[in-house]
Amino acid sequence: MEGVPEPHTGWTFLTNHARVLAAIADNRTARIRDIAAHCRLTERAVQKIIADLEQDGYLSHTRTGRGNTYIIEPAKVLRHPAEAGLTVAALLSLLVHDEAARRRVLDAHPKEGGPLAT
């Protein structure tokens, strides 16, 4: 994950959970170390966020050699009542940097509930 942004101070529009999910959508085999650097979080924070996302069914992983391959569930609905009805696919269609991954997010039909292996 090249091009790590400069540190940011002040408030931002996205939660750390959204940032981590978008980083994984950009690179489904990213190491926790790389996700942490990209999101400007500690590795421990990223591990906790990934555990949260997995526990609630937004994300799963399979072990591939010494690393992980993540699978995002695009049909999952966002948790906050203000986003009632919006899916992970809708969120990621705005946040994913990699154009090929963005196309897969947009092509995923949220009603089918299939996993998004970006």
List the domain range (segments joined by +) for residue 59: 16-107
Q: Which residues are bridge partners to 64 per DSSP?
A: 67
**Model pLDDT, residue 109:** 45
Instruction: Give residue 38's Cα distance to chain centre.
Output: 12
**Model pLDDT, residue 94:** 86
Structure tokens at 104: 């897969």
Per the domain annotation, does 73 fall within a domain?
A: yes
Report d(CA 14, CA 71) in Å as an integer: 21
Per-position pLDDT tens, the chain of length 118: 444 456 667 888 899 999 999 999 999 999 999 999 999 999 999 999 999 999 999 999 999 899 999 999 999 999 999 988 899 999 998 887 766 665 665 565 444 444 555 4
**Model pLDDT, residue 29:** 95
Give which of 78, 65, 33, 32 is closest to 51, Cα–Cα: 32
**Model pLDDT, residue 106:** 57
Contact 44, 114 (CB under 8 A): no
**Model pLDDT, residue 11:** 87
Per the domain annotation, does 11 fall within a domain?
A: no
- ∠ CA 1-29-33, nearest 5°, is 55
pTM of the model: 0.77
Tell me how many domains the chain contains.
1
In this structure, the chain runs to a length of 118
Per the domain annotation, does 31 fall within a domain?
A: yes
Per the domain annotation, does 116 fall within a domain?
A: no
Domain holding 96: CATH number? 1.10.10.10
